[in-house]
Amino acid sequence: AQSVTQLDSHVSVSEGTPVLLRCNYSSSYSPSLFWYVQHPNKGLQLLLKYTSAATLVKGINGFEAEFKKSETSFHLTKPSAHMSDAAEYFCVVSDDYGGATNKLIFGTGTLLAVQP
């Protein structure tokens, strides 16, 4: 079965410092992995996706993630945090091998706080 584990429920950084949000996955085959972000009172927005092409994936707003099969990790990074990055971030795997559902399996979320 597919699953993802987000290692930190809360992360706090200072504005201008790097962001690292950690995610490990479990999959019996090559997974499709995503990071979604939810700002307060907004819907979930796709930040980036990995679908077995390049292992370093660039997303919106300066975020990127690296797929590391040997470590079963898909950590999200950003070189310099901005106040507007404060939100909840979800690591997600798609449960879609051979099927037509593409249902998403979410991690428990990481709340990112950015201090001025």
Determine, following the binding rule CB under 8 A, whether residue 111 of this chain makes contact with other proteins: no
For residue 4, the tally of other CB atoms under 10 A from its CB is: 23
Nearer to other proteins, 13 or 107 (CB): 107
For other proteins, the binding residue among 7, 86, 104, 111 (CB under 8 A) is: 104
The first and second tokens of residue 101, run together, are 């559902």
Nearer to other proteins, 15 or 44 (CB): 44
Nearer to other proteins, 7 or 104 (CB): 104
Which candidate, 77, 89, 66, 60, places its Cα nearest to that of 19?
77
DSSP 95-110: E-TTSS--EEEE---E
Determine, following the binding rule CB under 8 A, whether residue 42 of this chain makes contact with other proteins: yes
Asked whether 47 and 80 are in contact (CB, 8 A), the reply is no
Determine, following the binding rule CB under 8 A, whether residue 8 of this chain makes contact with other proteins: no
Separation of CA 44 from chain center? 12
Taking the complex as a whole, the smallest distance from the CB of residue 44 to other proteins amounts, in Å, to: 4
Q: Which residues inside 73-102 make contact with other proteins, applying CB under 8 A?
A: 90, 94-96, 100-102
